[in-house]
Amino acid sequence: SQQGEEDPQALSIQEGENATMNCSYKTSINNLQWYRQNSGRGLVHLILIRSNEREKHSGRLRVTLDTSKKSSSLLITASRAADTASYFCATVASGGSYIPTFGRGTSLIVHP
Amino acid sequence: DGGITQSPKYLFRKEGQNVTLSCEQNLNHDAMYWYRQDPGQGLRLIYYSQIVNDFQKGDIAEGYSVSREKKESFPLTVTSAQKNPTAFYLCASSITRGAYEKLFFGSGTQLSVL
């Protein structure tokens, strides 16, 4: 099954800096979703971007999608210690199963 | 508050034992899912259900069973046939079946083998 792959696997930054995570995938998608997971907890949906969209914003989050390169990026601006978590991209294939398939995630640590 | 409730938070299984993980939602969602998460790994789909009394196997269904007798409930049984059950199990739901939508997750159950 299709799976997005996040890069980097781990990211450590200082509070106030921006954090950028990338996701690459292999086949055509209907949409791509980003989720956040705090340690030992469930996932929380952040943003869904459809294949005909190039950029979406939500608060301090900015997601871009480049279908020609089969990649997406998640930018967190002015990061806070509370942003420390794992971030997952999930792809939904076009014309196939509607169920999101998850990558392995990026572990983000924001130092106060 | 509307949401998905998973219980218990921690569960221990003895050799040869079946254990059942509970998942209840009061969001009135049609579709429900079970994922398995191993350390440092992504989520892998075990089973999903689009409607009451119907469910489908995911990528790693062997050693697991489910039922969907009520819209609100989607319990997962980890059978003795699952030889490596230690993992974090996540239940999720989405509003409608067959639609390209986001998932809502419960807080998870950590299953360990004694």
Of the listed ranges A39-43, A63-67, B12-16, the least confidently predicted one is: B12-16
Q: Which two tokens stand for residue A71?
A: 């990649």
Q: How far is the C-alpha of B50 from the C-alpha of A54, rounded, in Å?
A: 30
- At residue A5, the pLDDT reads 87
The confidence score (pLDDT) of residue B1 equals: 60
Average pLDDT of span A4-21: 94
In 3-state terms, what secondary structure has residue A27?
coil
B34 contacts B23 by C-beta, under 8 angstroms: yes
Chain A residues near residue B42 by CB distance under 8 angstroms: 3, 88, 102-105
Q: What is the pLDDT along chain B (114 residues), one digit of tens a residue?
A: 679 999 999 999 988 899 999 999 999 999 999 999 998 888 999 999 999 999 999 999 999 999 999 999 999 999 999 989 999 999 999 987 666 789 999 999 999 988
> Chain B: nearest CA to A43, how far in angstroms?
6
Interface test with A, best of B43, B47, B90, B107 (most A CBs within 10 A): B43
Only one residue has tokens 């956040």, namely A36
Tokens 């921006």, residue?
Answer: A18
Task: Give me A112's structure tokens.
Answer: 């106060």
B contacts of A99 (beta carbons < 8 Å): 33, 45, 48, 58
What residues of chain A lie within 8 A of the CB of B48, using their CB? 99
Omega into A8 within 30° of 0, i.e. cis? Answer: yes
